Amino acid sequence: MDRVHLHVLVAGCLIVLAGCAATNPLSPSNTQNSQYHLHVQQADGNISADDVVQFDELTPAQQRVFKDALQKGIADVPNNVSIDPWTHYRYVRYDNDTYVAVVSTA
């Protein structure tokens, strides 16, 4: 193998390895299996107070999942986070806005 081909092969291997190293091994979807997803979008219309949970009533872990879903539209719910608030209430009140929060299975 001539020297130019060897350099191209080594450079290609380094690029592939750099791409593998760039992934985030600490992201929730990589560290914990999830069997549920949370979908969040802004709610419309009249909503009964009985169907709403306040953001402050969620645990810190549930708040993180909600904020992640709010940013992305969907988020994995780690196995150690209860889905109860989103199955008992259809809406979450956060920052003077109301959002539909729906859990689906992964």
Interval 31-84: pLDDT, tens = 456 899 999 999 998 999 999 999 999 999 999 999 999 999 999 999 999 999
Using pLDDT thresholds of 50, 70 and 90, give the confidence band for residue 28. very low
How many H helices and E strands in the chain? 4, 5
What is the per-residue pLDDT across 69-106, written as a single tens digit (0 to 9) for each? 999 999 999 999 999 999 999 999 999 999 999 999 97
pLDDT, residue 34, reads 80
- What is the per-residue pLDDT for 106? 74
Query: 28: which residues sit within 8 A by CB, 6+ positions away?
Result: 34, 76, 78
Q: What is the pTM of this model?
A: 0.68
103: exposed, middle or buried (Cβ count in 10 Å: 0-12, 13-18, 19+): middle
Place of tokens 């690029």: 15
Q: Find residue 21's DSSP bridge partners.
A: none
Sheet of 74-77, strands arranged across: 52-54, 91-94, 97-105, 36-42, 74-77
